[in-house]
Amino acid sequence: MKAIQTSNAPAAIGPYSQAIEAGDFLYISGQIPIDPATGEVVEGIEAQTKQVLANLQAILKEADLSFANAVKFTIFLSSMEDFATVNEIYEAALEEPYPARACVEVSRLPKDVLVEMDIVAYSKA
């Protein structure tokens, strides 16, 4: 196993790695919409979704991967009312074949953000 770390995504806010490479797979920890340049949470569901995707891309890039390597996304929303907006931004960021995905509403996310996502990626894709 190998830890993947980049300053182009927010540092972990707990005892975990941004990502762990295990064999041909990369497991990216849940990313929230913190701008790594400022350390602040961006505002609004559109900006938050775009920031989360940018953070995920930065970690993938550090491992020489891209969204094309993603095999599974999990999306956590504080409200399913935001599903259509998040889905539209997500769809624009990815290409077919789309990865498997789960999307769930949760009662609360770290720092009271509106969206969090994690990824499993496969390096041989």
Catalytic residue IDs? 103
Query: If we measure between CA atoms, which residue out of 64, 79, 73 comes closest to residue 98?
Result: 73
CA distance 34 to 61: 18
CA distance 91 to 98: 8
Q: 2-4 and 70-77 as β-strands: parallel, antiparallel, unpaired?
A: unpaired
Under a CB-based contact definition with an 8 Å cutoff, are residues 27 and 1 in contact? no
